[in-house]
């Protein structure tokens, strides 16, 4: 009588069902893992985009701030220089170089009551430089289109108490003591010009006359101060004396006078410089 037995499968071999089940399990695991990878990729892409857009936003904000700063700076610079170059009716501020001195371009209208032949209003144009630190005024009067007035450079030195006229037509200098009753000090004259610029005063004014005679030739130019020295250096320079009483008899036959008109107060001054023939 024989025995029939079954051999147990070895550990290295699995039944076909188990192997199939294992393969199925691996496939399922792979199928489960695949959506997770795809989900991670889909989540990482918007994060990169958000960072990129945030960088662009910050860059745009910085550029806008820089552009705004440039616009504000340009407006400030434009306003600063336009104040120095603005022109209004009778007076114009040309240039403000620093706080010590300022330049003005001035034009006033007046009537010459001493000349009966002139019936129209006259205009006087001059460039004014006022130095507050050195306390002096320099006035340049251009060639007028009327009368017998000469173009001139004029310095009113309040520290030295002197006035110098450089007659550009004659190329001669004349020096006299400063008349503070006629010439405004720098600060007051600057305020007057500022008010004229604003239109606080009418540009129409009047004229007064003063007469001077030549007395002596100036040899020592250093005593006149640095400003008048530079104005009159290399030119014939004479001292003047104011004439209090006018002597009309034979005056035209014995003297020759040159007129210089300038504006250093609320009126125009006609200065007659007379020299004996």
Whether residues 116 and 23 fall in one domain? no
Whether residues 55 and 142 fall in one domain? no
- Select from 57, 85, 113 the last residue of a domain: 85
- Residue 163 pLDDT grade (very low, low, confident, very high; cuts 50, 70, 90): very high
Alpha carbon distance 91, 126 (integer Å): 10
Alpha carbon distance 221, 237 (integer Å): 9
34-48, 118-132, 137-151, 243-257: the lowest-pLDDT one = 34-48
Q: Supply the pLDDT for residue 114.
A: 63
Residue 270 lies in a domain: yes
% of the chain residues with pLDDT over 90: 37
H or E stretch covering 54? helix 16-85
**Burial (CB count <10 Å: 0-12, 13-18, 19+), residue 61:** exposed
Between 41 and 123, the more confident residue is 123
Count of structural domains, the chain: 2
Q: What is the pLDDT of residues 164-197, one digit of tens each?
A: 999 999 999 999 999 999 999 999 999 988 888 8
Q: Show the tokens assigned to 229.
A: 């020295």
Q: 107: domain range?
A: 87-276
């Amino acid at each position: 009588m024989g025995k029939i037995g079954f051999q147990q499968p070895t550990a290295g071999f699995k039944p076909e069902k188990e192997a199939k089940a294992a393969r199925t399990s691996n496939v399922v695991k792979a199928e489960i893992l695949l959506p997770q990878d795809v989900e991670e990729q889909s989540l990482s892409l918007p994060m990169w985009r958000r960072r990129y857009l945030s960088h662009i936003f910050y860059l745009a904000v910085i550029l806008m701030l820089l552009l705004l700063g440039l616009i504000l700076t340009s407006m400030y610079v434009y306003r600063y220089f336009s104040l120095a170059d603005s022109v209004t009716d009778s007076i114009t501020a040309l240039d403000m170089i620093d706080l010590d001195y300022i330049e003005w371009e001035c034009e006033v209208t007046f009537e010459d009551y001493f000349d009966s032949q002139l019936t129209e209003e006259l205009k006087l144009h001059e460039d004014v430089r006022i130095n507050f630190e050195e306390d002096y005024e320099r006035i340049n009067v251009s060639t007028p289109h009327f009368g017998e007035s000469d173009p001139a450079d004029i310095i009113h030195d309040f520290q030295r108490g002197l006035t110098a006229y450089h007659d550009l037509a004659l190329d001669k200098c004349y020096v006299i003591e400063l008349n503070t009753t006629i010439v405004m000090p720098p600060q007051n004259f600057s305020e007057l010009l500022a008010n004229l610029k604003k239109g606080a005063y009418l540009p129409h004014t009047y004229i007064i006359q003063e007469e001077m005679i030549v007395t002596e030739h100036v040899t020592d130019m250093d005593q006149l101060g640095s400003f008048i020295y530079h104005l009159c250096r290399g030119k014939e320079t004479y001292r003047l004396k104011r004439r209090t009483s006018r002597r009309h008899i034979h005056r035209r036959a014995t003297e020759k006078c040159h007129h210089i008109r300038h504006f250093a107060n609320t009126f125009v001054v006609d200065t007659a410089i007379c020299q004996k023939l």
